[in-house]
């Protein structure tokens, strides 16, 4: 999708292995992430909920709004506030990320 301002967002399945580790603890691991590419931002990997250890995460009161993606909800770990976010009801052009989790720090692992 490209807006009149030239802002562009694409969401595509990515054939990479993504891991999220914090302080030695594995939080997520996926071989089926969605790569979201947005003008002016780093590539963000959105992981399916089955690939995320959601039992370790605590819902946060933080909510943010992106005019291109919609409203995001956040989750935290002890000592790591708002570490992960998701779009429960994303805008139509990025609907594929619905319910997927995105972390600030991810590692792409060479298999």
Q: Are 6 and 25 in contact (CB under 8 A)?
A: no
Q: What is the DSSP string of 8-61?
A: BEEEEE---EEEEEETTEEEEEESSPEEEEETTS--EEEE-GGGB-GGG-EEEE
Distance CA 43, CA 10 (A): 10
Domain ranges of the chain: 9-109
Share of the chain above pLDDT 70, in %: 95
Q: What is the pLDDT of residues 19-62, one digit of tens each?
A: 999 989 999 999 999 999 999 999 999 999 999 999 999 999 99
| pLDDT at 3 (0 to 100) | 58
Q: Residue 87 pLDDT > 90, yes or no?
A: yes
| pLDDT at 85 (0 to 100) | 97
SS3 of residue 6 by DSSP: coil
| pLDDT at 108 (0 to 100) | 77
| pLDDT at 1 (0 to 100) | 59
Class of the CATH-defined domain 9-109: mainly beta
């Amino acid at each position: 999708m490209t807006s009149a301002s030239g802002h562009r967002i694409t969401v595509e399945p990515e054939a990479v292995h993504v891991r999220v580790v914090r302080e030695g603890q594995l939080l997520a691991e996926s071989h089926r992430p969605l790569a979201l590419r947005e003008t002016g931002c780093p590539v963000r990997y959105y992981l399916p909920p089955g690939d995320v250890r959601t039992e370790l995460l605590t819902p946060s009161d933080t909510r943010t709004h992106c005019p291109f993606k919609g409203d995001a909800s956040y989750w935290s770990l002890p000592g790591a506030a708002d570490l992960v976010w998701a779009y429960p009801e994303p805008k139509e052009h990025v609907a594929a990320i619905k319910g997927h989790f995105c972390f600030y720090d991810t590692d792409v692992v060479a298999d």
